[in-house]
Structure 1
Amino acid sequence: MRSIAHPGKSGTQRLFAIPSGVRPITTELIAGQTLLDAIAQMGEDFDVKSGAFRLNGGVLTSFSYVMPALSKSPEHAVYFSETFYVEGQVKLESASVTFGLRDGQPWLHCHAVWIEPNGRRHGGHLLPDRVVVATPIQLTGVALENAAFTVCPDPETNFSLFTPLATAEHSTSPNPGAYAIRLAPNVDLCDALEAFCQAQNIKRATIFGGVGSTVGAQFQDGRIVEPFVTELLIQSGRIVQTDTGQTRAEIDISIVDYKGGLTEGRLASGANSILVTAELVICPERD
């Protein structure tokens, strides 16, 4: 499995998980606002401070995004590209969103796939305070009730990253509704979630959200993304139990690499180490 050397020292904890109750949310984002303001408005309307969501359909304008990129400085192992702008209306196909807090204010992390006016299908990291919602966009997902993804300094990567933290309403219930999770670099995405679910006796679960990056990618069908700097969004994710009682993560992604390639498919287990981070919510299915 490929790995990445970050400038800071890696800690012993590689998976950060906070138990939390959850509420399902289904609504439409209001047109005429930036993506950040539209989702923050949803937060006010539904009393949501943090959650993991999926966006589908609709149109965006003032379209601004960045791509994963090689780092030009020893302060970071990898970085972001310059900002790209797309003129005209961009059709949103799908996006994964981590919504939470930065310096006590609403903030979000969004990776998306879209179709540009010239027909090009592309993906990347949206700049949420610049992109404008032009037509209503469907939002579905879960709101966290006892935890919040909160931007915190990460000494290993030298980035400030969303990390799940307990809120004042935190409950230590032995059967929480869900877990807010962040994965650290150089752990396999599937293996880490499978081990976590085994430890928590979770036999079946749905993954909500899913914003992150891996060191390239290897898919179940054998395809490989060689460029090692990537960003991904989880299109569909589940934890299942096989006939032999093993826990398996079934994760379908869209991934964009720093050379501009967009690749999609189901990840192979044991072959996809985290590049910088991965944020998601696991919701167990109770018997």
Structure 2
Amino acid sequence: MITPITHPGPAPSKRWAVATCAAMPIDIILPVAETLAQSVALGLAGFDGGWLVIENADLANLDFVIPGEDTTGTHAAWYAGPYRMGAGRIDHLGLHAGRKDGAAWLHGHGTFSARDWLGPAMGHILPLESRLSKPIRAKGWGLKGARLDVAHDPETNFPLFQPVTTGTKTGAALITLRPNQDMTTAIATAASEAGIRNGRLYGLGSLTCPQLQGQPQIDSHATEILLTEGRLTKGTAEIEVEIVTLNGTLHKGWLEPGANGVCVTAELLVIADL
């Protein structure tokens, strides 16, 4: 069973959103710009959005946050930080590129390092505070026919990515999941709405007290996660994740089916098998 979490706003009956799209494999160079968000947008010029993976890349400035408590009661969880690495390094980062208030935006989770760094090693990268020191390589998927746009979510009281349709394309789908539903089950259900029962899964999100296969349950009511492997096979999702907790500890493993409730959101790209 999942561990539930109470959010401040009303919970809509529809617990996911789906927009179909076309996804093209890409291997691009991100140029130096004023912010990481702008660098990603320039690299994805010509696409509506995208999912990118960056590995082994030095940044001029790397700022990030980890899950934290919200003592005000206006959110079920908040952020701790920001942690400022200065000239830090992206070891492995996965990110969704989209739009916020009409401008370039991204949501990325990853692992980071820096010389003599003693703080957390994984978190949510800050797209306007972080910036490149030189052009870097990114691989992933460029999307046409849909993208993620930030909108205020009354249930969680957060600004969250939501999929929007920009054309008529198929072969892939952008999916977002609402809180308090098992992640693996919800992904499979939402993907079936897009006509996908077999495919690859990419994305990130947050879980409440995650349960990894063969490991003790993680005692952290808010966590940030990054998918490191994901498959949808005959309507069943199998997902491996990296996790950072409220106290900054890291975990990795395969999600136990039926036992991993979404905390705030999950944002997925599902690419159908040909």
In the aligned structure 2, how far is the partner of 1:237 from the partner of 1:113? 18
- Could you tell me how far 1:218 is from its partner in structure 2? 0.7
Q: TM-score, normalised by structure 2?
A: 0.93
Supply the AA of the counterpart residue of 1:185: P
Which residue matches 1:254? Answer: 242
In the other structure, the counterpart of 2:21 is 20
Q: Does 1:37 find its partner at 2:25?
A: no
Task: Pick from 177, 190, 196 the counterpart of residue 196 of structure 1.
Answer: 190
Query: Cα 1:201–1:17, aligned 2, differ >3 Å: closer, same or farther?
Result: closer
Residues 178-198 of structure 1: CA deviation (Å, up to 9, x unaligned): 111000001111011223345
Tell me what 2:204 maps to: 211
C-alpha distance in structure 2 between counterparts of 1:200 and 1:81, whole Å:
36
Could you tell me which amino acid in structure 2 is paired with residue 282 of structure 1?
V
Counterpart position of 1:234: 227
CA distance 1:131–1:261, shift in 2 (3 Å): same
Q: How far apart, in 2, do the equivalents of 1:41 and 1:149 lie?
A: 16
Indicate the residue corresponding to 2:145 in structure 1: 146
**TM-score when normalising by structure 1:** 0.89
Deviation at 1:149, TM superposition (A): 0.2
Contact 1:26 1:138 in 2 (8 A): yes
Three-state SS of the structure 2 residue aligned to 1:195 is helix
1:31 deviates by 4.3
How far apart, CA to CA, are the structure 2 residues paired with 1:148 and 1:278?
15
Structure 1 residue ranges, 4+ long, deviating more than 4 angstroms after superposition: 198-201
Structure 2 matches for 1:1-287, cutoff 5 A?
1-31=2-32, 33-44=34-45, 47-87=46-86, 89-118=87-116, 122-167=121-166, 170-171=167-168, 176-198=170-192, 202-208=196-202, 210-241=203-234, 247-286=235-274
Any idea what the Cα deviations from partners look like across 1:158-207, whole Å, max 9, x if unmatched?
A: 1110000112xx21x6xx21111000001111011223345555342011
Distance 2:79 2:136 in 1: 26
- Structure-2 separation of matches of 1:90 and 1:206: 30
SS of residue matched to 1:227: coil
**In structure 1, what residue type is equivalent to 2:98?**
G
Unaligned runs of 5+ in 2: none
Alignment RMSD = 1.8
Q: Which amino acid aligns with 1:260?
A: G
The alignment of Structure 1 onto Structure 2 pairs a total of residues equal to 272
Name the SS for the 1:81 alignment partner. strand
Query: Equivalents in 2 of 1:161, 1:198: separation in Å?
Result: 23
Name the CA distance, whole Å, in 2 between partners of 1:137 and 1:280.
24
1:3, distance to aligned residue in structure 2 (A): 1.0
1:228 deviates by 1.3
- 1:79-116 Cα offsets, whole Å, 9 max, x none, are 112312124x3221111101101111111111111122
**Distance (Å, rounded) in 1 between the aligned partners of 2:139 and 2:42:** 15
Equivalence for 1:244: none
